[in-house]
Amino acid sequence: LFVLWTRQAFVDYLEADTVRWRLLASSSAALIKEMARKDRDVRRGDVVFKNSTEGLAIVDHTGSMLKANAAFERMLGIGGGEDGRHSGLKDAFRSDSKPLVLPDSLKDTWRREVMFGPDGSRPGILSITPAGEDAEGGATCVYSLIDISEQKSAQERLEYLASGDQLTGLVNRRALDQRLAGLRDVPFALIIVDLDHFKDVNDSYGHGAGDRVLQAVASRLDAIRHDHLKPDDILCRIGGDEFALL
């Protein structure tokens, strides 16, 4: 009788609180869906982290790596496994030919151009973003490293094309003008060398022969610069058959 009475009481309780139980069931279903969605987001994020061509690492407040993707390890020449991932990054980056001093604490994203790699010869952009606290309450950051070696090479090539003379390998008038602009209130000497009757060489022997004459003159003048002038003095071809020593 007691069991029957208890069962009936429970049935009455359920029937009396139908709305509350429906809300509870609905909330549970919504919670399960939200947890499943977050789990999918975490798994997708992990796939992006592992396969990104951008170097990514999670670093704790001591500067030790908690996790790094393959691109980050490859850029820094760090082996995989526990030894590599828990190594410090104190001397991993350089700036102005000195070890980069990394910030102790961050509130916003920090970004700077750095040199990295096993021999410190590759240029890159390092970004450090706060990522909250770890399980022990310590601050963590996400390191993002982008290799800009190709962009730097292209930039240097464009600068060379803009300021270099393709025939002789010397710098051109644009480079001379830039150097002169930086010599205000500084004493200097400017020597202009002009080849007499150079037009006759072109007219008599062709432009190919004229080009070889210009290359020979440039080589001899550069030898004079190397032997008798200071290392920062420059030799320019300023146009046609004219050269300048500054």
Least-confidence region, from 18-27, 156-165, 166-175: 18-27
C-alpha 22/C-alpha 19 separation (Å) is: 5
Element (DSSP H or E) covering residue 147: strand 139-147
CA dist 133 → 61, 87, 138, 140 (Å): 9, 19, 5, 6
Of the chain, the percentage scoring pLDDT greater than 90 comes to 30
In this prediction, residue 50 carries a pLDDT of: 76
Residues annotated as catalytic are 241
Question: Mind listing the pLDDT tens digit for each residue in 169-185?
Answer: 999 999 899 889 888 88
Confidence of residue 81 (pLDDT cuts 50, 70, 90): low
Least-confidence region, from 5-9, 158-162, 176-180: 5-9
CA dist 57 → 14, 115, 196 (Å): 53, 17, 64
Of the chain, the percentage scoring pLDDT greater than 70 comes to 77
CA dist 127 → 4, 56, 93, 203 (Å): 69, 10, 12, 60
Q: Is the pLDDT of residue 26 over 70?
A: no
In this prediction, residue 1 carries a pLDDT of: 52
Q: Which amino acid would we find at residue 183? A: L
What rounded mean pLDDT belongs to the chain?
81
Element (DSSP H or E) covering residue 10: helix 2-16
In this prediction, residue 245 carries a pLDDT of: 94
Mean pLDDT calculated for residue range 100-111:
78
Question: Mind listing the pLDDT tens digit for each residue in 34-72?
Answer: 676 666 666 676 677 777 888 898 888 887 888 888 888
Within 52-172, residue ranges assigned H as helices are 70-76, 82-85, 149-163
Confidence of residue 94 (pLDDT cuts 50, 70, 90): confident
